[in-house]
């Protein structure tokens, strides 16, 4: 295992679980950290969540919120921004380092106008996070998730995050074929707060539908090696959701994912990026 990168499992795999059972399960996965939705933590109670975490020896790496209010819905944005601020305070109370979020929908706005509006609305939350020592990160998503995001490519996500003075939650599942991704990772590695992984079966047309890393078609060893080779030393998160995960069971899928990730991190300590890429080609 890497001496720097910490393994993390996302709460997406167990969204329907009650939080006491979910936290107990995470203790069995072998991950260093977990990531939880703000709404679930606040709904259960931050103090009660802290007690659960302590009882099971589980640490929170991040909290997450997806914005979904229409750009013209000022009241909806006010509610969601208030929820984000509550999440920032909860992250501080729980000892989490990062809160990541999506950019919300653009609706009929063009990208630039949507970015202007989002940046203006998020400014107070950015200030709140800084005051509390919490780092914010913007996530890239698949275009099919236009209901919660207009930032889909890694390049545009880095650009908007830089404008806001925040980091990025880079989901490789959503940008693995992006042109110039390796060079972008090298140039922007300091902006990455969370590196997110899951696998994908090429040809799949139903979503969400993620697989355990190593079970499907993405060149994850090469992508991970590129990030680590660029100097990434932060959280590496496994986000699983969909029929394949439900069929196997969240616990089994997460345990296998953490084992896969630990093996990749260990091998990345001894192999240069080029050797990692060659090894992957031979396996395939």
Is residue 191 included in any domain, yes or no? yes
Is residue 225 included in any domain, yes or no? yes
Task: Look at the chain and report how many structural domains it folds into.
Answer: 1
Helix segments in the chain, DSSP class H:
19-27, 38-44, 46-56, 74-94, 111-132, 154-164, 181-188, 220-229, 243-248, 250-268, 273-283
Is residue 256 included in any domain, yes or no? yes
pLDDT of residue 2 exceeding 50:
no
Q: What is the chain's length?
A: 284
Is residue 97 included in any domain, yes or no? yes
In this predicted structure, what is the pLDDT of residue 276? Answer: 40
Is residue 1 included in any domain, yes or no? no
pLDDT of residue 284 exceeding 50:
no
pLDDT of residue 274 exceeding 90:
no
**Percent of the chain's residues with pLDDT above 90:** 92
pLDDT of residue 92 exceeding 90:
yes
Closest C-alpha to 225, from 176, 170, 271? 271
In this predicted structure, what is the pLDDT of residue 268? Answer: 82
In this predicted structure, what is the pLDDT of residue 277? Answer: 37
| Domain ranges, residue 240 | 6-283
* pLDDT, tens only, 168-210: 999 999 999 999 999 999 999 999 999 999 999 999 999 999 9
pLDDT confidence bin for 250, thresholds 50/70/90: very high
pLDDT of residue 163 exceeding 90:
yes
pLDDT of residue 271 exceeding 90:
no
Is residue 277 included in any domain, yes or no? yes
Q: How many CB atoms lie within 10 A of CB 148?
A: 17
Given a contact cutoff of 8 angstroms between Cβ atoms, the answer to whether 8 and 197 are in contact is no
Alpha-carbon distance 263 to 271, whole Å?
12
Angle at 236 between CA 152 and CA 182, to 5 degrees: 55
Is residue 74 included in any domain, yes or no? yes
Please state the rounded mean pLDDT for residues 162-167.
Answer: 98
In this predicted structure, what is the pLDDT of residue 3? Answer: 52
pLDDT of residue 280 exceeding 50:
no
Q: How many CB atoms lie within 10 A of CB 53?
A: 21
Cis peptide bond prior to 208, omega within 30° of 0? yes
- The CATH number given to whatever domain includes residue 150 is 3.20.20.150
Instruction: Please give the radius of gyration of the chain, using alpha carbons only, rounded to the nearest integer.
Output: 18
**pLDDT mean across residues, the chain:** 94
Is residue 62 included in any domain, yes or no? yes
């Amino acid at each position: 295992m890497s001496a720097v990168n910490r393994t993390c499992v996302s709460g997406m795999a167990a969204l329907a679980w009650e939080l006491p059972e979910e936290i107990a399960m995470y203790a069995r996965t072998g991950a260093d950290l977990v990531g939880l939705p703000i709404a679930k933590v606040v709904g259960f109670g931050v103090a009660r969540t802290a007690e659960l975490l302590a009882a099971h020896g589980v640490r929170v790496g991040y909290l997450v919120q997806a914005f979904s209010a229409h750009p013209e819905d000022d009241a909806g944005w006010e509610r969601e921004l208030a929820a984000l601020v509550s999440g920032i305070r909860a992250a501080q109370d729980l000892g989490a380092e990062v809160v990541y979020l999506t950019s919300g929908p653009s609706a009929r706005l063009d990208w630039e106008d949507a970015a202007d509006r989002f940046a203006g609305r998020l400014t107070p939350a950015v200030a709140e996070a800084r005051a509390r020592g919490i780092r914010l990160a913007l996530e890239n998503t698949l275009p099919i998730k236009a209901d919660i995001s207009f930032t889909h490519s890694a390049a545009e996500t880095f650009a908007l995050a830089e404008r806001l003075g925040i980091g990025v939650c880079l989901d490789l599942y959503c940008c693995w074929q992006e042109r110039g991704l390796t060079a972008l990772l090298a140039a922007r590695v300091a902006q990455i707060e969370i590196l997110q992984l899951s696998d994908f079966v090429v040809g799949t047309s139903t979503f969400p539908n993620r697989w355990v890393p190593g079970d499907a078609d993405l060149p994850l060893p090469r992508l991970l090696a590129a990030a680590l080779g660029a100097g990434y030393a932060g959280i590496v998160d496994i986000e699983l959701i969909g029929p394949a995960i439900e069929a196997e069971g969240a616990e089994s899928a997460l345990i296998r994912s953490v084992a896969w990730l630990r093996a990749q991190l260990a091998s990345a300590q001894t192999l240069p990026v080029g050797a990692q890429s060659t090894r992957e080609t031979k396996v395939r």
